[in-house]
Chain A
C-alpha cells in the first residue's frame, strides 16, 4: 500500500505536520505556494515549493494530485492529504476605520522596533512613553492574535520600561497560558481597560481612546492583528471537494460524522489555523492530532470501508443524481454496471451517514450493514 502523505500549505502549521509525519516514518510530499521553510533533511521528504495544486482525483488510499510547478508539471500519488495552509493577517490599512498615522502601528512593526535599540518612534525617549495595545478593536480578536499581542505588550514593558496599557472588549483568559500571562502583566503594573464603542482619535499630541472609565491618552497605539482565512482556501476546497464553513475556514459540515481534524472526505485531514483559531501551542497539538489521524488510517494492512455504508441498487436507479448532489462526502459517482449507467458508492469514501438513502426518490439506496428495513432506516435518518 502507498504510504505517501501529501501536506498542502507552506505555513508554520504545515511544518509541524511534516515534522510529526516524518517522526512516524511516513513519506511526505510537501506542497506550498511559497518558498517552504527549512525542514529536517530526510529521505522521506519531497518538497514542492512555489507549486499549486491544479487537479485532484481518486479517493482515500489513492489520491492523485497534479501540480503546476514551474518549470515542469508534477504528479503526486498519495494515500492521504493533510490541508495545513494556515491563515492570513490583514494589513493595518485594510480597514478605513483605523486612522493612518505614524502613532498607529501593527504588532509586527512594533516587534521589529523592539529588536532595534532605544528609540521607539522618534517622538520621545522610550521610558516616558505610554504605549496602548488594543485587542478586539474592530472585531473580537482570536486566540492567536490575543496571545501574540499580550506577549508583545509584556515584552515591550520589560524592554523599554515604559507605561503599557491593554484595551479589550472581552479579555481572553481561557487557557493556562493566557491566564498566567494576564496575571504576570497585572503584577508588573500593566493596566487593562475595557473598550467602549468609539474609535480611537489620533492627533499630534497623541492617541486618545475612550474606555469604560474615561479616556486614555497614549503616545502609540498598537493594534492586534486581524486574521482571515487565506484567499485561496475556496479554490483548494473546490479542487479537493471539501467544505468551507460560513466564515471561510475549512470545516466539516456533516454533524453525523463530525470529528476533530477530519474533513468531510475520507483520507483528507485538516490541521492548524486553516480550520481553527489557535496559538502556536494549539496549532502544534493539532498537527499531532492530524498525524495521529493519518497513522490510524495507514496503520492498517489494507484500507477497509466502514461497517455501515450505502449501496445503490443499479436496477432501481433512475440516474437523477440526487445522491451525488446530496452526499456530503463526495463518495457517490456515476459508473457503468455492464450495459447500464447508474450511481455507485465508492465504498472506501463512504462515511455511512445515510444522507443519500434518505433522499433517494426511488429508494434505490440501502444501508449495507444495518439489519433493518429501508423505511425504518429512513425514519431514523430524517
Chain B
C-alpha cells in the first residue's frame, strides 16, 4: 500500500506493537513519543520467574519489540515529540509534529492513540501512609528495585512479615475510580510468590477484595495459597507506625471471616496501586475530537475504533490491560486500521 502513512501517538508497548504490525503489512508509520525513550510504563516491569519458572507477566515481551521497531525501516520514531492541531482533511488527517519547539506540518491517513496510563498516586490514599512511612512502598517501587538490582535483592531479606494491599485507588467509587485496574492482582500475586521463593522465612499476607483470576491466572492464585501465602478478605482501614517497634507498620483491618477488628504488624507493606487515565487524557480526547467513557478512558464501541472514523485506540488508553493483553489489543487496533486504509484507498 504505497503513499499511506499512519501516525501513532505514544511509544509504549501498545504503540510499538501497533507500529510493528502495520510496518510488517507494508504501511509507513510515524511513531511519536513525548519522552526521550520508547517503552513507557513497561520499562519498570521486572522478570518475575519463580525458581526459573516463567509466570507469564509479559515483562520480557518488551525489549525485543523495542529493538525490532528501531530496526524497522517503515517506522519513523520521533522521540521527545508531541502532536498538536489534528484536523480531518478529507480522507486524511493533518497535524503538527512538535520536536523541541520545532513545528512541522504533516499528514496521515489514520491515527492510532496509544498514550497508555498513569499509575494511581498512592498518596491519594492518605490513610495508608505512602510517602510518610518508609516501610510502605508501592508495587511499582518493588518492580523497579527488582529490575534495577535483580531478584537476589530479596535473598537475604530480613523481612519477617510482608503485607500486600490490593485495590489501592481502584474499585473506589468514593474517589471516583470505580473501575478495576485488572493488573494489580496479577502482579501482586506474582511478586508475592517471587518474594516467598527468594525469602522462605517471610510470612506474606495479601489483603484483597476479590482476587481477579479470570483468564489463566487462577493457577497462580492456587499455587500462592499452596505456598503458604495468606489471603485476607477485606482491605485495611489504616496503616500506622507501630508503637512497639518504629521500624514496623501496624495495619488495622476488619477481618470479614471472623467479623472482628484486628491489628497486625508488618516489616514491609506493598500497595498494589492501579491504573488510571493519563492526567492529560481529556486534552488528548479534545485534540482528537473523540469521546471518553465515564471513567475517562477513550470510549470505543467495537474494540479499537473510536467515535471518529480513522482514529483508533490501542492498549491502556482505552481500558486497563496487562502487557500481553495490550499487545493483543494493539494488534487488533492495527488490523482495524489496516482494513480502514484498504477501504479508503483508491
Min CB gap A283→B, angstroms: 11
Closest B residue to A20 using CB positions: B335
- Residues in B neighbouring A140, C-beta threshold 8 A: 213, 218, 221-222
- Number of A-B pairs whose CB atoms are under 8 Å? 100
**Docked complex Cα distance between A160 and B220 (Å):** 39
State whether the Cβ of A143 lies closer than 8 Å to any Cβ in chain B.
Answer: yes
**Docked complex Cα distance between A146 and B256 (Å):** 23
**Docked complex Cα distance between A253 and B56 (Å):** 10
Bitwise, B1-43 to A at CB < 8 A (1) or not (0) is: 0000000000000000000010011100000000000000000
**Docked complex Cα distance between A174 and B184 (Å):** 10
- Residues in B neighbouring A249, C-beta threshold 8 A: 216
Other-chain contact of B60, A258, A288, A291 (Cβ < 8 Å): A258
A255 touches B171 (CB 8 A): no
- Residues in A neighbouring B215, C-beta threshold 8 A: 142-143, 174, 276-278
Min CB gap A294→B, angstroms: 11
A174-B182, A179-B180, A194-B233 known; A289-B328 Cβ under 8 A: yes
State whether the Cβ of B228 lies closer than 8 Å to any Cβ in chain A.
Answer: no
| 8 A Cβ contacts from B145-200 to A | 171, 178-180, 182, 185
A258-B60, A260-B324 known; A172-B212 Cβ under 8 A: yes
State whether the Cβ of B272 lies closer than 8 Å to any Cβ in chain A.
Answer: no
State whether the Cβ of A76 lies closer than 8 Å to any Cβ in chain B.
Answer: no
State whether the Cβ of A218 lies closer than 8 Å to any Cβ in chain B.
Answer: no
B335 touches A292 (CB 8 A): yes
State whether the Cβ of B332 lies closer than 8 Å to any Cβ in chain A.
Answer: yes
**Docked complex Cα distance between A143 and B257 (Å):** 26
Closest B residue to A249 using CB positions: B216
| 8 A Cβ contacts from A273-290 to B | 276-278, 285-286, 288-289
A255 touches B49 (CB 8 A): yes
State whether the Cβ of A206 lies closer than 8 Å to any Cβ in chain B.
Answer: no
A261 touches B60 (CB 8 A): no
B180 touches A276 (CB 8 A): no
B214 touches A172 (CB 8 A): yes
State whether the Cβ of B137 lies closer than 8 Å to any Cβ in chain A.
Answer: no
- Residues in B neighbouring A260, C-beta threshold 8 A: 61, 324, 327-328
**Docked complex Cα distance between A140 and B54 (Å):** 22
| 8 A Cβ contacts from A297-335 to B | 299
Closest A residue to B213 using CB positions: A140
- Residues in A neighbouring B233, C-beta threshold 8 A: 194
Min CB gap A81→B, angstroms: 19
State whether the Cβ of A360 lies closer than 8 Å to any Cβ in chain B.
Answer: no
**Docked complex Cα distance between A139 and B303 (Å):** 30
B332 touches A299 (CB 8 A): no
Q: Is the interface of A mostly helix, strand, loop or mixed?
A: loop
State whether the Cβ of B346 lies closer than 8 Å to any Cβ in chain A.
Answer: no
State whether the Cβ of A171 lies closer than 8 Å to any Cβ in chain B.
Answer: yes
* Chain B interface extent, by class: 35 or more
Min CB gap A41→B, angstroms: 21
**Docked complex Cα distance between A81 and B257 (Å):** 50
Min CB gap B295→A, angstroms: 9
| 8 A Cβ contacts from A171-186 to B | 171-176, 178-179, 183
State whether the Cβ of A379 lies closer than 8 Å to any Cβ in chain B.
Answer: no
State whether the Cβ of A247 lies closer than 8 Å to any Cβ in chain B.
Answer: yes
Bitwise, A224-261 to B at CB < 8 A (1) or not (0) is: 00000000000000000000001101000101101111
State whether the Cβ of A170 lies closer than 8 Å to any Cβ in chain B.
Answer: yes
A173-B171, A247-B219 known; A285-B26 Cβ under 8 A: no
- Residues in B neighbouring A278, C-beta threshold 8 A: 215
B24 touches A285 (CB 8 A): no
**Docked complex Cα distance between A289 and B221 (Å):** 27
Bitwise, B322-343 to A at CB < 8 A (1) or not (0) is: 0010011101101100010000
A259 touches B335 (CB 8 A): no
A172-B213, A174-B182, A255-B49 known; A288-B218 Cβ under 8 A: no
Min CB gap A207→B, angstroms: 23
Closest B residue to A261 using CB positions: B328
State whether the Cβ of B115 lies closer than 8 Å to any Cβ in chain A.
Answer: no
**Docked complex Cα distance between A141 and B328 (Å):** 23
- Residues in B neighbouring A291, C-beta threshold 8 A: 335
- Residues in B neighbouring A94, C-beta threshold 8 A: none
A259 touches B61 (CB 8 A): yes
State whether the Cβ of A295 lies closer than 8 Å to any Cβ in chain B.
Answer: yes
| 8 A Cβ contacts from A138-197 to B | 139-143, 146, 168, 170-176, 178-179, 183, 194
B213 touches A288 (CB 8 A): no
**Docked complex Cα distance between A212 and B332 (Å):** 42
**Docked complex Cα distance between A259 and B328 (Å):** 10
**Docked complex Cα distance between A154 and B12 (Å):** 38
- Residues in A neighbouring B257, C-beta threshold 8 A: 212
State whether the Cβ of B210 lies closer than 8 Å to any Cβ in chain A.
Answer: yes
**Docked complex Cα distance between A178 and B334 (Å):** 25
State whether the Cβ of B81 lies closer than 8 Å to any Cβ in chain A.
Answer: no
B216 touches A285 (CB 8 A): no
Candidate in A173, A174, A178, A299 with the most chain B CB atoms within 10 angstroms: A174
Closest B residue to A169 using CB positions: B210
State whether the Cβ of A296 lies closer than 8 Å to any Cβ in chain B.
Answer: yes
State whether the Cβ of B319 lies closer than 8 Å to any Cβ in chain A.
Answer: yes
Bitwise, B212-256 to A at CB < 8 A (1) or not (0) is: 111110110110000000000100000000000000000000001
- Residues in A neighbouring B319, C-beta threshold 8 A: 175-176
Min CB gap B174→A, angstroms: 15
A285 touches B25 (CB 8 A): no
**Docked complex Cα distance between A243 and B171 (Å):** 37
B180 touches A173 (CB 8 A): yes
Other-chain contact of A173, B21, B212, B331 (Cβ < 8 Å): B212
B210 touches A172 (CB 8 A): yes
A258-B54, A285-B329, A291-B335 known; A170-B179 Cβ under 8 A: no
The 5 A-B pairs with the shortest beta carbon distances in the complex, nearest first, are A143-B214, A174-B212, A255-B54, A170-B210, A171-B210
Q: Give A residues with C-beta under 8 Å from B.
A: 23, 139-143, 146, 168, 170-176, 178-179, 183, 194, 212, 246-247, 249, 253, 255-256, 258-261, 276-278, 285-286, 288-289, 291-292, 295-296, 299
Besides A173-B171, A175-B214, A259-B327, 10 other CB < 8 A contacts? A170-B210, A170-B212, A172-B214, A174-B212, A179-B180, A247-B216, A255-B49, A260-B61, A276-B215, A285-B328
In the assembled complex, 15 residue pairs joining A and B whose CB atoms fall closer than 8 Å, in A order, are A140-B221, A143-B214, A146-B214, A172-B210, A172-B212, A173-B180, A173-B210, A175-B180, A249-B216, A258-B54, A258-B60, A276-B216, A289-B331, A295-B25, A296-B21
